[in-house]
Structure 1
């Protein structure tokens, strides 16, 4: 007869895995990874405020303040637009908006990649002292880059006034494409941020790769120009479509310029987004608890 004064409570108080003698690391579970992302969203007042303070801090004691963001992008767009429109013999009214929107979106993409690789290293003090989710720092970075993008969109508005073109309901696709870009900014910053915190050579490597990808992405040139030349040049233009960043640009840029977007651009972007989210989620699950020791 079992002693009722000392009941066997092992199976009632411990998980089945521990009852079988297995050791479960709770910090490396999907539940904790999801909890980190959710906690970061719940702390949105924190990262919204910090992201805005980043911009104010950068342009403190400046007369024009954040307008320098718009001026710098506008000057570069006009200079490159005039130069390459002459070299490629493309009408300025068609080429300048193409270059401008491309530079605006490229600024967001490159910012998420380059700054994302150092997002945890740059926030070492906060990570060690502030009990918050790691995703807070990622959301803060993407929010800051989004504010930069909003400043630069003023240039696009001016161009649409100077070079008017019909814009229909397709413009809503650019808003959807921008939302997809922000989601990708989260996984890019999370994945590269974790990897670059552990392996410090990744950050300068990514910086060099971004510079190379700028010239390989149709920003200051167009695939249409290459296709019109035919022959081997047209074949090389198809190689440009192997660059996924081209498709990310196209789903936002084409609607903003009143141009149709081929469906395959969206399929490629959605596929890359799904793969990237999976990789970032696995990295967060595996190494989330180690980042504070790596910074």
Structure 2
């Protein structure tokens, strides 16, 4: 048995991608329904997403502002932006561990594009991001921070992040469907990545060690790509370059892996 995808494998994978992206109504409705079901019969409903994140940012923000000796009115906005986008990134990676197993009831009954279910979790986390983005606006309003002119550059940065998220979710989802111990490993790695990424601490606090911890940390690269414009910093070509290199490497892994083993996902469920 060869691990190299055949021409037919590549064709079917391409068809799956095109069909999956084209089935936007399906993955959009599935993503919306996931959020509705999560908070079904809850008094506050989807407002709990915003409320729980807001409580965390307020509580941890005050404590760490004093711990790091930063002004509260500077640290809380910094933490709010970082934590909300970290929640988005880690949420996609965490959900991707069960993207195909969660869709087992659909995939076992009908030949549906696998990529549609990857889009489903991205939609789900985008909805969470929209709910949490309200916190950033409220924090800026409370502390009198004006909306920076660079805010529009969040959109191209988010597009780059979504492309990387799609590739990562496809790869992780496929591997976790085959190897059921991987979800626990990935959850542990995400916990470590949280502390190695400038979410609660600033890059300048590392001094000369920053290039080694932040410069080669893909989580830090994609996080700063979307958060820097919200803090009034112009997009860094270096960050975009690093992000595109990472995406290219991820494509070299995700594409042949998905092409070769896409058809086996149903048998692994």
TM-score category, normalised to shorter length: over 0.9
Kept in 1, the 8 Å contact 2:140–2:146? The answer is no
User: Match of 2:201, SS?
Assistant: coil
Alignment partners' CA distance in 1, 2:187 and 2:100: 16
Q: 2:164 aligns with which of 184, 190, 204?
A: 184
User: Match of 1:119, SS?
Assistant: coil
> Offset of 1:238 from its aligned partner?
2.6
TM-score, normalised to structure 2's length? Answer: 0.94
> 1:3-40: per-residue Cα shift (whole Å, max 9, x none)?
xxxxxxxxxxxxxxxxxxxxxx8785221111101001
Structure 2: which 5+ residue stretches go unaligned?
none
- Equivalence for 2:113: 133
Alignment partners' CA distance in 1, 2:13 and 2:166: 14
- Structure 2 residue 236 is matched with structure 1 residue 256: no
Q: 1:119 aligns with which of 81, 95, 99?
A: 99
Change (3 A) 1:216 1:162: same
TM-score, normalised to structure 1's length? Answer: 0.86
- Equivalence for 1:282: 256
Alignment partners' CA distance in 1, 2:81 and 2:120: 24
Kept in 2, the 8 Å contact 1:80–1:220? The answer is no
- Equivalence for 1:237: 210
Alignment partners' CA distance in 2, 1:216 and 1:243: 8
Q: 1:153 aligns with which of 124, 128, 133?
A: 133
Change (3 A) 1:216 1:206: same
- Equivalence for 1:11: none
Kept in 1, the 8 Å contact 2:6–2:260? The answer is no
Q: What's the RMSD between the two structures over aligned residues?
A: 1.7
Larger radius of gyration: 1
Alignment partners' CA distance in 2, 1:152 and 1:187: 24
Size of the alignment, in residue pairs? 265
- Equivalence for 2:244: 270
- Structure 2 residue 107 is matched with structure 1 residue 110: no
Alignment partners' CA distance in 1, 2:255 and 2:92: 17
- Equivalence for 1:43: 23
User: Match of 2:158, SS?
Assistant: helix
Kept in 2, the 8 Å contact 1:27–1:289? The answer is no
> Offset of 1:252 from its aligned partner?
0.9
